[in-house]
Structure 1
Amino acid sequence: MAHFSHSAVVAHPLAEVFSWHQRPGALTRLSPEWAQEVVAEAHPPLAPGARAHLRTSLPGSHGVLRVPFVSEHAAGPSEHSFVDRMVRGPLRSWEHTHTFAAAGPDAGAAGQGSGESDSGNACLITDDIDYRLLPAAASGLLGIERALMEPTLQATFLARNDRLAADLDYQQHLREVGGPESLSILIAGASGTIGRQVAALLSTAGHEVRRLVRRRARRTDEVSWDPGRGYLRPDEVAWADVVIHLGGVPIATRFTPAAKDRILSSRVDSTRLLVLAMAELPPQDRPRAFICASGINAYGSSRGDETLTEQAESGDGFLAEVCARWESEASRAADLGVRWVSVRTGVVLTSLSGFLRLQLPLYLAGLGGPLGSGRQWLSWISLDDIARIYARVAVDAELTGPVNAVAPGPVRQREFAAVLGRLAHRPAALSVPDIGPAVLLGKQAAEELAQADLRVAPARLQAAGYRFRYADLPQALAATAGFSTTGIVPE
């Protein structure tokens, strides 16, 4: 049996850190994007016998190769501890004991933390893992098992504790911005890549989150609705202080008439239903805020070197029309006295889905390169930052109207390719001609998606003092794909 142990100090009290781990969303927030994807958390969290379903990445695959992994919770050996045991997965066995203790005055040397630690104001987290890759008969191969697993385990737990410290610090900042009150937050689209992170960040911060689901509700934190039939009970909306809408079918498809209708109706009809439910309520029962997704496609598909703030004029094209109608429906909430925000999201860089998920295998194979001429602007945002932005907008009463959710450093396609190639230690010179995306997506979708040229600035977020966790492209790519940035210097 191989053994791995990792310790770290987080500059927050034991009670706060342990309570954070007991809330829904903790596993989702703790999981590095490149290391594992949470399919379903255990419910209730940490309950003995409850199971979590994940897709864990094979070592060295940077999240490209993932396999199912199911773990079961058990009580730990002490008051502030718990155990996870693998019941199905790629290993012979896996038992992970999480232990939490108040950090003493000398505990800072045990691991990484988010600042100076004083006794009683910091928490020592110890992770002990006993595992086997190979059958017990192959006991002489423990050294090989450790050589295969320990670099990945070390990187995983460094990333986990870095995320934990950053989340605890950021959630304290949110309380400073919005006050200490715990909010009731209703989320549509909580099963998507962004929605899972938004829900997890808010629930681990102590807010009560319910999810709108298009089926019969099975749990107390679920609410049934059916936008296609116009079904949503207004009293379910009355429960919420904040409603967040992240719904809509994927746009990465050929823009056939039927696809266009689905893309538009899935956004406009569902948004209209939420606002109509608010309108049926007495003013005093309406939510305080309605936060609705949108996209930087609102500015069109090709604006060249023009810097696009929220004050820029709308653009042309199908997706610009979708965003305009989507935001128009969402803005009707403001007529009801409900604070309205439309979050115009850029290209979300995550190894879990979307643009980077498709590109990463090519780069790892040495077949990556810029799209088209490489001169097009790419306005990007990390998955961690888009979740933080939604959380900030949910609690900050000063933010209203359209808000650009992009990192402050847009790059051209050729720069993106060069950075990702250097991180992957692969060449990145094979440019993809325009005909490639056109064959896959059709001419219009290729022009508005793969060949988009938008230089967008997060003016309102910066004016509000929002601090990006990943404002630097190499750091953002490294965090989501598990690359090392040692020796990487942007061109």
Structure 2
Amino acid sequence: MAIFTHTSTFTPSQETVKTWLTRPGALTRATPHWSGSVKKEGDPQDLGSQAHLASALPFTSGLLTLPWTAEHVAAGEDTFTDQQAKGPFSSWQHTHDFFETPGRTVMRDTVTYELLPGEELGTSAQEAKGKAKQQGLKLLGTGRKGAEKIGDTLVNKHLTRVFDARERRIAADLEFQERYAHDPITVVIAGASGMVGQQVSALLTGGGHTVRTLVRRAPQAENEFRWDPAAGEIDTEAFDGAQAVIHLGGASINQRFTEQNKKAILESRIQSTTLLANTLADVARKDGGAGQVPHTFICASAVGFYGADRGTEVLTEDAPAGSGFLAEVCQQWEAATEPAKEAGLRTVNIRTGLVQSALGGMLKVQLPLFLTGTGGYVGSGEQMQSWVSLDDIAGIYVHALFTDSLQGPVNAVAPTPVTAKKLAKTVGAALKRPAVLPIPPAAPALLLKKEGVQELALASQNASADKLVKSGYVFFEPALRQALEHELVR
């Protein structure tokens, strides 16, 4: 049995820290993206509830994962414990203990684990598994004690990285929640199951707010409400007593630009946004100013609005729309929100940049190349890349929600755009891999087709973050190198 401990210190009170950690969304927010992803959270205060995760294998930046189920088994005033119900360890138990000291809160994480089965195995199946492992160790010439020592060293090194990252993430979120402290509200989210939607939902529930989700399948929880954008159907009870709606849905653009896929990209955005905007306008009129329905509508858009070939031109929100398929999609997408705006809802269009995350998007697609030292930039590498971290795109949505002065289009990008060449080199540096070779456009064309390469890989958009910064937003990750190291550390 091995024991690992990690001590974290935070400035908020013990009650604040523990309250945040036991709210829905805390596990999603605290989990470093390179260490895996949360599929379903449990409730630390509900003994027997389970959390389901995809736990990344070390040194893979989240590309290779194993299923992990943790069960909450104990909870007290200053402590709670979970243990592995299913996963790669023979046994695993994680206890959080909280201590309040003058001016700070101390959290001690204690993990006790076993890599290999003990001598006493409960069932014949376990015995067979244990014997097989022992035979494997003999073939390796190590023996049980030697293998455990090597394994514990590697595990402890990995856990040190994980818990250091957790401490940083928890501290950043506690600061964020203090900055956006607000009486609890109810927010309806479309697209909550996506990469960005999960983080936005977790930030909101971490702040004590209620999140309702629109789902296309049959609802399975009391906070789920069905809708079918293609059929123009939506359960309007979702909006009763809600203050805002956030729309994040839409088919992925990271696919071959066939006519069928392009149609799905366009229609998935226009149909869903039109349905939401018209419905919100209708319920607002019926409400008659009583304040029992949403007054804010925040909808995704993209810097693709400006077109794919804007060179180094600084693009503020007042810049004219560009040309091309994605520019046309974004123009129609934003226009579809007009009914809500005309009905008096504060409407914000989040023009998203290139989201940098190990959990999804183009970075995840390119990770195998970078990990093998074959990553690089497409074309000349001089294209301007307006990027944003996953934490920041989630934070920007919450900022837009609680910043009443913000409306209309907002560039959701970091204040430090870079060239494609610089982006590739920085990814390589974060992974400690070379990334200096240009990639012929013909290579990504195999995945995206020629039009997709022009619209995505070769696009140059130098979007300005000035409007966002002047509205008071403080970035989690304003610098690319730091953002990528936090996202990809292995």
Instruction: Give the alignment's TM-score, normalised by structure 1.
Output: 0.91
SS of residue in 2 equivalent to 1:4: strand
Deviations 1:326-379 (A, max 9, x none): 101113211111000000000100001111111222112111111111111111
Deviations 1:441-481 (A, max 9, x none): 11111110111111111121111121211111110100110
Q: Give 1:330-349 correspondences, 5 Å limit.
A: 330-349=337-356
Distance 1:155 1:93 in 2: 21
Deviations 1:425-450 (A, max 9, x none): 22212221011122221111111011
Out of 405, 415, 423, the residue aligned to residue 412 of structure 2 is: 405
SS of residue in 2 equivalent to 1:443: helix
Equivalent residue for 2:208?
206
C-alpha contact 2:26 2:206 (8 A) present in aligned 1? yes
Q: Give 1:224-373 correspondences, 5 Å limit.
A: 224-281=226-283, 282-284=287-289, 285-373=292-380
The one-letter code sitting in structure 1 at the alignment partner of 2:16 is E
Equivalent residue for 1:217?
219
Deviations 1:280-332 (A, max 9, x none): 22232331100000000000111001011111110001111111111011132
Distance 2:197 2:61 in 1: 22
Q: Give 1:409-424 correspondences, 5 Å limit.
A: 409-424=416-431
C-alpha contact 2:426 2:481 (8 A) present in aligned 1? yes
Deviations 1:390-427 (A, max 9, x none): 00001110100000000011111111122222222222
Distance 1:331 1:203 in 2: 29
Cα drift, residue 45 of structure 1: 4.9
Following superposition, which runs of at least 4 residues in structure 1 exceed 3 angstroms of deviation?
A: 139-142
Equivalent residue for 2:164?
158
C-alpha contact 2:431 2:489 (8 A) present in aligned 1? no
C-alpha contact 1:234 1:280 (8 A) present in aligned 2? no
C-alpha contact 2:212 2:238 (8 A) present in aligned 1? no
C-alpha contact 2:378 2:439 (8 A) present in aligned 1? yes
Equivalent residue for 2:109?
127
The one-letter code sitting in structure 2 at the alignment partner of 1:52 is A
Distance 2:273 2:244 in 1: 14
The one-letter code sitting in structure 1 at the alignment partner of 2:79 is S
Structure 1 residue runs of 5 or longer lacking an equivalent are 106-117, 484-491
Cα drift, residue 147 of structure 1: 1.3
Equivalent residue for 2:129?
none
Equivalent residue for 2:88?
90
Distance 1:442 1:283 in 2: 50
SS of residue in 1 equivalent to 2:273: helix
C-alpha contact 1:237 1:277 (8 A) present in aligned 2? no
SS of residue in 1 equivalent to 2:429: helix
Q: Give 1:378-457 correspondences, 5 Å limit.
A: 378-457=385-464
C-alpha contact 1:286 1:338 (8 A) present in aligned 2? no
SS of residue in 1 equivalent to 2:81: strand
Distance 1:279 1:391 in 2: 22
SS of residue in 2 equivalent to 1:68: strand
The one-letter code sitting in structure 2 at the alignment partner of 1:37 is S
Equivalent residue for 1:58?
57
Equivalent residue for 1:110?
none
Distance 1:38 1:233 in 2: 28
Structure 2 residue runs of 5 or longer lacking an equivalent are 120-143
| Larger Rg over CA atoms | 2
Deviations 1:30-73 (A, max 9, x none): 1000012001112x454111111111111222222211111111
Equivalent residue for 1:8?
8
The one-letter code sitting in structure 2 at the alignment partner of 1:452 is A
C-alpha contact 2:308 2:456 (8 A) present in aligned 1? yes
The one-letter code sitting in structure 2 at the alignment partner of 1:128 is T
Select between 248-257 and 194-203 the one with higher mean Cα deviation.
248-257
SS of residue in 1 equivalent to 2:294: coil
Distance 1:268 1:338 in 2: 19
Kindly tell me the number of residue pairs found equivalent between the two proteins: 461
Distance 2:171 2:150 in 1: 32
SS of residue in 2 equivalent to 1:431: strand
C-alpha contact 2:349 2:409 (8 A) present in aligned 1? yes
